[in-house]
């Protein structure tokens, strides 16, 4: 008995000593962070699940690495907060040490949020950093899981880049831009962490499993990688008396898909849009790049306008549709960008006369004529193009056949002011802006000496562009940074170019499979122009449905001429049941998360559920769908209607669908 009591006392003494320096921060209903003031590390729990172990923070200052574990003096303070995220407590750990910058680790714990936010900052007489890692550590909750998967999120949608879900083994890791996701593919339980600020830093997230089988995560502000961010030089450094990291989102979710929705919403809260609030219907329209491309002419686009006005009268979003001119509209200019825009104005007026809305295109941060030399005068001012080019190492930034222009340079801005001013005068009501990633590239030095990072330059350029647009147009982005563009645009294309084949559909839906959550970051996501061409009816249905499940509907055949596409368009594009699905403009969510592209997607709108099914293969396939996969307890009492064939059925336990090769269907499920 005495031995038992002594052992018991010894256990509690060891426990007390090991936790004497521990401070607990609570968040949400059942979350907590335990910070050890002695070691400079912290762990996070949701209920009893430990989803961060021995977390710590590091930063580089003048190329020297410092860690929160290396400081000898740590002091804790807290204050109540009430901000855009809600009510909570801000917890601050101040770290001091001789011969090193002061450091703060800051945690934001909110009463109603199932995740926490954190950041670090450093201070001194003059500090400089181009790398800050607010959080890194182990993920015990995911150790030993049979199938651990990690999602790669691209920095942008250029060069036909794809998302992926990679199964991890020992000594494997994966990089991702801005946000990292690591999850159990059986249960879908997963950890999500990423930046919610994108105006200063580029952030990269590494997830992986080490040689000992331990799962880990690292969130790094100051991330560049040629194949991901397009940069060939290191991230720019921030300098001053105080340097802060971006704020980092960190959470464990029973379903990582729900967590990604929360992450996207947190970004929208942290950096709300500065583009004007969109109060109009979900955009529908036509874009010339789908098929017409460089063959654009005044006569052709007038015929296209007439086709939509006369032959596709039901292809409308509450009476609205955009006729959008893509690249090569300058074929109709006389005298270049500073010349005669009368033909463009005549077209805009004609579109409005026919009851439609005119749209236009431009790439404001690129020089497509750079191979002709830099002595050319940049339109709108007296600067030479060579003065506008973004300086990168010993050269410049060339990608996609275009050279990047410094967004902070007055010559770049004068050129933007000229063109946007002309397009406004012509009366265009939509603009598709492209190759925006060129404005976010890291540079040795920008024209504006206050700007030292690519994301700071991006903010300058996009803010200036919006000022010129003056709330006059729907702002649609094609190639653009995935996360950082949320403040500046209404609508974003989710992938790179896609045209008419089943392969185009699969490529687009790869981005929706792992990027659907951006529906909460933008007003609208878009699947690029839907082209029917002379493809099979199945491929036409699949391509049409890829737009519906993404959230908007932009089409792209050359309707100035007759062909198989004109009859198919009359059938598919005027299907009122399909058009009703995109009235709310929201994307579908994937059912599967271990494939190049999910074959099934779901969406709930009020009391109605929708199930989209795609067969990307070259053989007929049967799909068996359980009610739980789409968020229902059972199919009993529900009616299932195929919105392409309008046939109905009432399954009991599971629903079966047989799709031909390269085909798709959309099922409406109502009580």
pLDDT of res. 20: 63
pLDDT of res. 589: 97
Which residue in 365, 355, 352, 524 sits closest to 428, CA to CA?
Answer: 352
238 & 156 share domain? yes
What's the Cα-to-Cα distance from 607 to each of 631, 670, 671, rounded to whole Å?
Answer: 11, 7, 8
498 & 378 share domain? yes
236 & 340 share domain? no
Reading the block at residue 455, the tokens are 């994301």
631 contacts: CB under 8 Å, gap ≥ 6:
602, 604, 609
Residue 648 lies in a domain: no
Residue 594 lies in a domain: no
What's the whole-model pTM score?
0.95
Q: Please state the separation of Cα 225 from the chain's center in Å.
A: 18
Is residue 430 within 8 A of residue 324, CB to CB? The reply is yes
Residue 294, judged by CB atoms within 10 A of its CB (0-12, 13-18, 19+), counts as exposed
Q: Please state the separation of Cα 513 from the chain's center in Å.
A: 12
Please report, for the chain, how many H helices and E strands are present, in that order: 12, 40
Per DSSP bridges, beta strands 22-27 and 215-221 are: unpaired
DSSP conformation letters of 359-412: EEEE-TTEETTGGG-S-SBPTTSS-BHHHHBPEETTEE-EETTEEEB-TTSHHH
CA distance 52 to 37: 17
pLDDT of res. 19: 52
254 & 344 share domain? no
Per DSSP bridges, beta strands 115-129 and 102-110 are: antiparallel
242 & 328 share domain? no
The CATH number of residue 89's host domain is 2.70.98.60
- What are the residue ranges in the chain where pLDDT is below 70? 1-20
266 & 289 share domain? no
Determine the 3-state secondary structure of 310 from DSSP: helix
Strands (E), 28-72: 31-36, 41-46, 49-61, 64-67
Reading the block at residue 343, the tokens are 């033909």
pLDDT of res. 651: 75
Is residue 127 within 8 A of residue 60, CB to CB? The reply is no
Question: How many other β-carbons are positioned within 10 Å of the β-carbon of residue 183?
Answer: 26
Question: How many other β-carbons are positioned within 10 Å of the β-carbon of residue 534?
Answer: 11
214 & 310 share domain? no
pLDDT of res. 15: 41
pLDDT of res. 653: 77
Q: Which domain holds residue 517?
A: 284-575
218 & 324 share domain? no
Q: How many domains is the chain partitioned into structurally? A: 2
Q: pLDDT tens digit string along 476-529?
A: 999 999 999 999 999 999 999 999 999 999 999 999 999 999 999 999 999 999
Residue 605 lies in a domain: no
Token pair 């499940």 is at which residue? 549
CA distance 507 to 498: 8
pLDDT of res. 7: 44
Last residue of a domain, one of 575, 609, 626: 575
Residue 494 lies in a domain: yes
481 contacts: CB under 8 Å, gap ≥ 6:
155, 156, 198, 436, 437, 440, 458
Last residue of a domain, one of 553, 575, 597: 575
Residue 275 lies in a domain: no
Residue 387 lies in a domain: yes
Residue 324 lies in a domain: yes
pLDDT of res. 654: 83
């Amino acid at each position: 008995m005495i031995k038992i009591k002594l052992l018991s006392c010894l256990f509690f003494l060891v426990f007390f000593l090991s936790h004497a320096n521990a401070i607990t921060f609570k968040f949400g209903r059942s979350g907590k962070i335990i910070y050890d003031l002695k070691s400079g590390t912290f762990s996070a729990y949701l209920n009893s699940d430990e989803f961060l172990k021995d977390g710590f923070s590091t930063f580089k200052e003048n190329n020297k690495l410092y860690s929160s574990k290396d400081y000898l003096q740590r002091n804790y303070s807290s204050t109540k907060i009430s901000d855009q995220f809600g009510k909570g407590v801000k917890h601050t750990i101040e770290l001091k040490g001789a011969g090193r910058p002061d450091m703060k680790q800051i945690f934001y714990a909110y009463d109603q949020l199932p995740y926490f936010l954190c950041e670090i900052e450093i201070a001194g007489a003059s500090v400089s950093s181009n790398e800050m890692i607010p959080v890194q550590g182990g993920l015990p909750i995911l150790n030993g899981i049979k199938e651990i998967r990690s999602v790669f999120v691209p920095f942008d949608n250029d060069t036909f880049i794809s998302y992926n879900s990679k199964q991890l083994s020992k000594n494997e890791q994966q990089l991702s831009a801005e946000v990292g996701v690591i999850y159990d593919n059986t249960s879908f339980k997963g950890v999500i962490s990423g930046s919610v600020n994108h105006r200063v830093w580029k952030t990269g997230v590494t997830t992986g499993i080490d040689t000992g089988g331990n799962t880990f995560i690292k969130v790094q502000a100051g991330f560049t990688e040629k194949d991901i961010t397009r940069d060939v030089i290191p991230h720019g450094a921030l300098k001053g008396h105080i340097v802060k990291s971006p704020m980092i989102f960190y959470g464990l979710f029973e379903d990582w898909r729900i967590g990604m929705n929360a992450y996207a919403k947190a970004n929208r809260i942290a950096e709300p849009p500065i583009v004007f609030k969109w109060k109009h219907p979900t955009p529908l329209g036509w874009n010339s790049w789908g098929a017409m491309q460089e063959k654009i002419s005044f006569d052709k686009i007038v015929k296209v306008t007439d086709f939509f006005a006369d032959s596709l009268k039901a292809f409308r979003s509450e009476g609205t549709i955009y006729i959008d001119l893509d690249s090569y509209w300058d074929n109709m200019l006389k005298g270049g960008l500073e010349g005669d825009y009368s033909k463009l104005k005549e077209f805009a007026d004609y579109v409005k006369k026919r009851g439609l809305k005119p749209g236009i295109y431009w790439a404001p941060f690129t020089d497509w004529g750079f191979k002709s030399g830099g002595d050319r005068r940049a339109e709108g001012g007296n600067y030479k193009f060579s003065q506008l080019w973004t300086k990168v190492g010993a050269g410049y930034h060339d990608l996609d056949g275009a050279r990047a222009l410094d967004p902070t340079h007055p010559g770049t801005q004068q050129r933007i002011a000229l063109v946007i001013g002309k397009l406004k005068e012509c009366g265009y009501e939509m603009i598709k802006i492209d190759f925006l990633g060129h404005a976010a590239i890291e540079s040795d030095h920008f024209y504006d000496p206050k700007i030292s990072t690519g994301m700071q330059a991006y903010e300058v350029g996009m803010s200036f562009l919006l000022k010129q647009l003056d709330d006059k147009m729907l702002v649609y982005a094609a190639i653009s940074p995935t996360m950082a563009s949320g403040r500046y645009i209404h609508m974003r294309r989710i992938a790179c170019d896609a045209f008419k084949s089943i392969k185009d559909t699969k490529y687009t839906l790869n981005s929706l499979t792992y990027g659907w959550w951006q529906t909460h970051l933008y007003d609208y996501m878009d699947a690029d122009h839907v082209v029917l061409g002379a493809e099979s009816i199945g491929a036409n249905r699949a391509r049409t449905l890829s737009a519906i499940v993404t959230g908007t509907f932009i089409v792209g055949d050359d309707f100035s001429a007759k062909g198989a596409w004109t009859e198919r368009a009359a059938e598919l594009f005027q299907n009122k049941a399909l058009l009703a699905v995109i009235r709310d403009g929201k994307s579908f969510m994937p059912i599967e998360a271990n494939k190049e592209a999910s074959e099934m997607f779901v969406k709930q709108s009020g009391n109605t559920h929708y199930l989209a099914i795609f067969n990307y293969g070259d053989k007929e396939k049967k799909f068996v769908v359980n009610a739980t996969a789409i968020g229902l307890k059972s199919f009993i009492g529900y009616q299932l209607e195929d919105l392409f064939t309008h046939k109905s059925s009432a399954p009991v336990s599971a629903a079966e669908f047989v799709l031909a090769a390269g085909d798709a269907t959309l099922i409406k499920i109502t009580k």
